[in-house]
Amino acid sequence: MKIVIVGAGNVGFTSAEALSKVHDVLIVEKDAAKAENAKAMLSVSVLHEDGSNPKVIEATIKRIDADIIISAIPDDGHNLFICFMAKRIKPGIKTVACLRDPDFITKTLKEGYDGVDLLISPELITSEKIEKLAILENAVTYDHISRMDIALATFKIEENCDLVGKVILDLDTPPDCSIVAIYRGEDVILNNETAEIHAGDMIRVLGSPESMVAFNRLIGVEKEAKEFVILGASAVGIEVAKRLVQSNRKRIVKIIEDDPDVSRNAARELDNVAVVNGDFIDPAVLRSENVQRADVIITVSSIDERNLLACIAGLRSGTRKIISKYSNREYEKIFRYTGIESIIGYHRVIYNEITKNLIFDENAILAIDRDNEFFFSVTIDDGSVLRNTHLGDINMPEGIRVAAIVREGIIEYPRLNTVFRDRDKVLLFTHMVNPVKLSRLFGHKTPLEL
């Protein structure tokens, strides 16, 4: 396909990076420095123009006879306008608007609104991930696949956990979930039914959102999270606060923001949330607001350096759980080096949404937070040697775990006696897998990243 991307900022650049692997991409960017950076770093064409200009939109679409246009500039209103104009110029074009402010979220063409086929809001996706991590005391990662309504989460096993020493097969796990991997130091255990749980293990689980709550309880909750401090009244911070207080559980939520105007706006918008105007990397402010008492500290400012400093302060105060977002991908290793386990990369959120919706359609699911790990689906067809075969009879190549099967719209969590049928959609978790062996086994196209 031929795709126009308006904007070469974080969203546009990451989108182009993903899409250019399989499609022809043309970026339109009015900032000269960003345009030059995209031209130097990516295998795409770049046009140095104002993509919000109707004449530029028309000329660009006609120039490559575009199939898709993605509007990813910082102004949400302009993004919607670009999509509307693109539909007027070429009614059959697929339009994608990337929106930052939840107030701009509107119905898509599929829902009866003329102009936009797909909305992508990294802020809303990030907010959902953060809220789930905040309330699942033992979870360190969380992803939700909305079209299937299933979740993929990683839980940490502490030394005092009652599950230490038990075998996976003997656990009373919820029926609507599957343990897909155990991380133990540098080792990744996929065939884990007979594995014994050790202190420090990270257990990755696939299942319904409800099963994640049940699995969290199975591990054991020493103290339910009730006090939450959000550092930064960004769009993400405000959305997380709204989600936390909407629960029928009694929770104390506080936001600390250094900008007076932003603080006032947040106070007007939020009910049952304490908003404090102060510099959250100032130790005196943190002490005066008793941040060290919080069960969860959430850092979501727009500046990665401030988030990092706030996380380090939280670690020193002994806060049990710290969650942070970061925008610059170069900061991922720095956050991990400090020991922060629950971090959400803006680029990974964008990459996953673009991949799921515009590259492999329903077969693309998630690029996992660890390198060389993917979660995706393949369909059993005439080219697959698995048809009418029991799972237990298959010599599965190293690095592959069958996590679930979607059969006639129903998700099943397989056992060794499960038989693969024609048209089954098999959900796979892979780690350092050999793509040739994977293709031979399933006879289906697999993600290029493999």
Residues 15-69 have pLDDT tens digits of 898 888 888 999 999 999 999 999 999 999 999 999 999 999 999 999 999 999 9
Tell me the C-alpha distance between 208 and 211, whole Å: 5
pLDDT band at residue 219, thresholds of 50, 70 and 90?
very high
Regarding predicted confidence, which is higher, 315 or 31?
Answer: 31
Tell me the C-alpha distance between 363 and 367, whole Å: 12
Tell me the C-alpha distance between 427 and 413, whole Å: 10
Structure-token match 């509307």, residue found: 84
- The pLDDT tens digits of the residues spanning 169-178 come to 999 999 999 9
Measure Cα distances from 125 to 130, 211, 256, 299, 425 in Å: 9, 20, 22, 16, 25
Tell me the C-alpha distance between 299 and 133, whole Å: 13
Tell me the C-alpha distance between 441 and 396, whole Å: 8
Displacement of CA 357 from its chain's centroid (Å): 13
Tell me the C-alpha distance between 351 and 120, whole Å: 11
Spell out where 75-186 has E strands.
94-98, 118-120, 139-145, 150-156, 177-184
Q: Could you give all domains of the chain from N- to C-terminal order, each with its CATH number? A: 2-120 (3.40.50.720), 138-219 (3.30.70.1450), 227-349 (3.40.50.720), 359-442 (3.30.70.1450)
Task: Report the interhelical angle of 235-245 vs 260-269 (nearest 10°).
Answer: 30
Looking at the chain, the whole-number percentage of residues with pLDDT higher than 70 is 93
* Structure tokens that stand for 297 in this block: 């500290």
207-211, 361-365, 428-432: least confident range: 361-365
Question: Which whole number is the average pLDDT over 309-331?
Answer: 88
pLDDT(355) > 90: no
Total residues belonging to the chain: 450
Say if CB 104 and CB 83 are below 8 A apart.
no
pLDDT band at residue 443, thresholds of 50, 70 and 90?
low
- The pLDDT tens digits of the residues spanning 381-408 come to 877 778 888 888 888 878 888 999 999 8
128-142, 199-213, 319-333: least confident range: 319-333
Tell me the C-alpha distance between 190 and 4, whole Å: 40
Task: Report the interhelical angle of 346-358 vs 122-135 (nearest 10°).
Answer: 120
Tell me the C-alpha distance between 4 and 7, whole Å: 10
CA angle 371, 374, 375 (to 5 degrees): 150
Predicted local distance difference test score (pLDDT) of residue 130: 96
Of 271, 276, 265, nearest to 230 by C-alpha is: 276
pLDDT band at residue 446, thresholds of 50, 70 and 90?
low
Tell me the C-alpha distance between 39 and 118, whole Å: 26
133-147, 227-241, 431-445: least confident range: 431-445
Regarding predicted confidence, which is higher, 117 or 229?
Answer: 229
Predicted local distance difference test score (pLDDT) of residue 217: 95
Average pLDDT, the chain: 88
Predicted local distance difference test score (pLDDT) of residue 90: 94
- Tell me the torsion sign for CA atoms 106, 111, 117, 120: positive
Question: Which whole number is the average pLDDT over 166-195?
Answer: 92
Of 152, 121, 143, 127, nearest to 323 by C-alpha is: 127
Tell me the C-alpha distance between 442 and 402, whole Å: 12
Of 165, 141, 164, nearest to 153 by C-alpha is: 141
Tell me the one-letter amino acid at 195. Answer: A
Full-prediction pTM beyond 0.95? no
Predicted local distance difference test score (pLDDT) of residue 278: 93
Predicted local distance difference test score (pLDDT) of residue 351: 79
Say if CB 305 and CB 238 are below 8 A apart.
no
pLDDT(364) > 60: no
- The pLDDT tens digits of the residues spanning 84-110 come to 999 999 999 999 999 888 777 776 666
pLDDT band at residue 368, thresholds of 50, 70 and 90?
low
Say if CB 384 and CB 441 are below 8 A apart.
yes
Predicted local distance difference test score (pLDDT) of residue 191: 86
The two most distant CA atoms of the chain are separated, in Å, by 67
Regarding predicted confidence, which is higher, 279 or 384?
Answer: 279
How many Cβ atoms from other residues are within 10 Å of residue 148's Cβ? Answer: 17
Regarding predicted confidence, which is higher, 149 or 296?
Answer: 296
Residue 445, CB-side half-sphere exposure with 13 Å CA sphere: 8
Tell me the C-alpha distance between 245 and 266, whole Å: 14
pLDDT(77) > 70: yes
The strand pairing partners of 96, in sequence order, are 70, 118
Predicted local distance difference test score (pLDDT) of residue 378: 82
Say if CB 127 and CB 236 are below 8 A apart.
yes
pLDDT band at residue 371, thresholds of 50, 70 and 90?
low
Question: Which whole number is the average pLDDT over 131-149?
Answer: 90
